[in-house]
Structure 1
Amino acid sequence: MTAHLTADALRVARHLLGLSQRDVEQRTGVARKSLVSAEATETAAMSRPSTLLRLRSFYEDQGIEFLGTIDVTTGVVRGLGARWRMPNQLPPVGTDQTPVHSHSTGLAFSAARALLDVKQSEVCRVTSISEHKLRALETGTTNDETARRRLRTFYEERGIEFLGWGDVSRGVFYGVGVRWRVVGEATRGSEPGISYEGNQNDGP
Structure 2
Amino acid sequence: MMILHGYWRSSASYRVRIALALKGVAYKSRTWDLRHNAQYSPDLVALNPMSSVPVLQTDQGPLTQSMAIIEWLEAEVPEPSLLSDDPLISARIRAAAQVIASDVHPLNNLAVLKKLRGMGHDESQLSDWMHHWMQRGLAAFQTMISDKGDFCFGDSPSLADVCLIPQLYNARRWEMDFSSLEPLVAVEARCLTHPAFIGALPENQIDAIEEIPT
TM-score clears 0.5: no
Please give the TM-score of this superposition, normalised by the length of structure 1: 0.29
- The structure with the greater share of residues assigned to helix is 2
Higher relative contact order (CA 8 A, sep 6+): 2
- The structure with the greater share of residues assigned to strand is 1
